[in-house]
Structures are given as structure tokens and as C-alpha cells.
Amino acid sequence: MTTRIGITGAAGRMGRILTGAIGLAVDQLQLTGAIERPESSLLGVDSGELAGQGKNGVPVVGSLEQVIDEIDVLIDFTVPGATMANVALCAEHGVAMVIGTTGFTPQQQGAIEQAAGKMPVCKATNFSTGVNVCFQLLDMAARVLGDDVDIEIYEAHHRHKIDAPSGTALSMGEVVANALGRDLQKVAVYGREGQTGARERETIGFATVRAGDIVGDHTVTFAAEGERVEITHKASSRMSFARGAVRAAGWLAGQDAGLYDMRDVLGFNKAD
């Protein structure tokens, strides 16, 4: 059975690549909606051409309402405000969502969890398969190295990124904190300056770089006396995120209502 896909933020950096990734998917997926801001100058433009491909016959429209009845799964890589409006509409219509947008407040996060009681939602701060493998490695490293190491998280992204630290860095922090029974809200240190005093073992430090066209680098360092372990992921193309998000969309079409993440899609969260 074909799954009908909508992409919102269709003219964005991710939106254009997602449009291309749908054509490469192994699942039966068909793009049936491409949505942008109502004031976008690109309304009416063919989304395939916009993505640098041939015409696909799916024009960019200025509201999700216009196409909501023609899609089974909405892929949303936009901004938190737009995503929240889409969550409400998709919940009303029972349309599944793949959410890649980052930078939600705890309240917005809570509203997404509540809406996921009405439709399947796959939300991930990073849809690349490699990063999700790193989450598994981080969990293992944190459990084994435990309280004998200092843990620091470094991330670097392109100059246009509007939130910091990256959603992926925060997810890495959560994986490590959960493995060690720590509350990330209490132990996170976001940047250091001046007379900081000596480092406390419990803390998890974050360092952020914004520069040029870096697609996304993350390193978690576990540093002990005499040795350190570093787990690094480097994205060199947004296609890694897009392929994961499209894979999640195909997987989500067969799921019950609920909140899932990329680890569910990859089968890491199975009990067996």
C-alpha cells in the first residue's frame, strides 16, 4: 500500500533534501503535499523543481489545511511555532507526524506527548542512523566508565542554526545522564567563562561552535586519569537526516498512536 507523504517547510534546507529522499526510498512512498509559510514567494512552484529535480506535479501550498486530507504522514522540519500548529491539526485529522524540528520548550514538548495519544508521532533530534548508533554506544560507555570520568559534549554547526546547544547534543546528554542516574537539568553546564573553580565530577559540560557550513559534528568525551574515550559523529550531508526521516515516515504508517523515536524505527528499543 502506498503511503502519502506531506513535507512542511518544503523550501527549507531540509525540506528540499527530504523531497529528493522520498524518490530514493525503498518503501512505497508518494509525495502528495508540499507546504510553506503562507507569505512565501514560492507558493505554486513545483516542489520537485524547487528541490533541484525534475517536475513532480506537487505544487507548494501556503497551508497544511489545503492538503491535510491527501496525506497519511506529515514530515515537519520547520520552527517550533509552526510545528505546534501542525501537531494540533494532525491530531484532529489522525495524520501521523515525523518531527525533526528542534528547540521546543518543555511546555511544547508536553503538548506533543499529549497529542501523540491521538496519532503516531516519531520525534527525533537527529534522524541519522549513525547518530542513533552513537546513542547506543554512549549508553554503554556511560554505564561502564560510570562515575570515574569527566563527561563533556562538544557540538559544531553551520552559522544559520538558531538554537544551542543542538538538540542532538542535548539528547546525547540525556542518554549519558539517564545511564548514570543523573538529572541533566541539574548537572548540565552550558559554557564556561572566568573564575569557574575546579570541575565537579557530576557535571556534564556542553560546548557549542557555530561556523561556516558545518552540517553537524558531535563528540562526547569520557576523560579519566590517564586515558579518555571519545565518541564522535560527523555529518557531511543533510541527506543522512533526510533518509532517516523518510524511513521513519514509512515505518510510522503501520504504527498505533504513540510517541516514538528513531531508536524505535531502527529496532533498538525492542525488549528482546
Return the residue of 125, 132, 171, 219 that touches ligand NAD, per CB under 6 A. Answer: 125
Task: Please list, residue by residue across 226-245, b when 16 or more beta carbons sit within 10 angstroms of its beta carbon and e when fewer do.
Answer: eeeeebebebeebbbbbbbb
How many residues belong to the site for ligand NAD (CB under 6 A)? 24
Q: With respect to ligand NAD, which residue has the nearer C-beta, 128 or 219?
A: 128
Residue 82 within binding range of ligand NAD, rule CB under 6 A: yes
What angle, rounded to 10 degrees, do the helices at 129-145 and 239-252 form?
90
Residue 127 within binding range of ligand NAD, rule CB under 6 A: yes
Count helices and strands (H / E) in the chain. Answer: 9, 12
Distances (CA, A) of 106 to 12, 229, 262: 25, 32, 20
Return the residue of 7, 61, 68, 124 that touches ligand NAD, per CB under 6 A. Answer: 124
Return the residue of 19, 32, 56, 101 that touches ligand NAD, per CB under 6 A. Answer: 101
Return the residue of 4, 12, 49, 255 that touches ligand NAD, per CB under 6 A. Answer: 12
Residues 6+ apart with CB under 8 A from 195: none
Q: Say if CB 76 and CB 100 are below 8 A apart.
A: yes
Collapsing DSSP to helix, strand or coil, 161 comes out as coil
Q: Contact region for ligand NAD (CB under 6 A) — 5-13, 52-60, 192-200, 251-259?
A: 5-13
Return the residue of 35, 112, 116, 246 that touches ligand NAD, per CB under 6 A. Answer: 35
Binding site residues, ligand NAD, CB under 6 A: 8-9, 11-15, 35-37, 40, 77-79, 82, 100-103, 124-127, 241
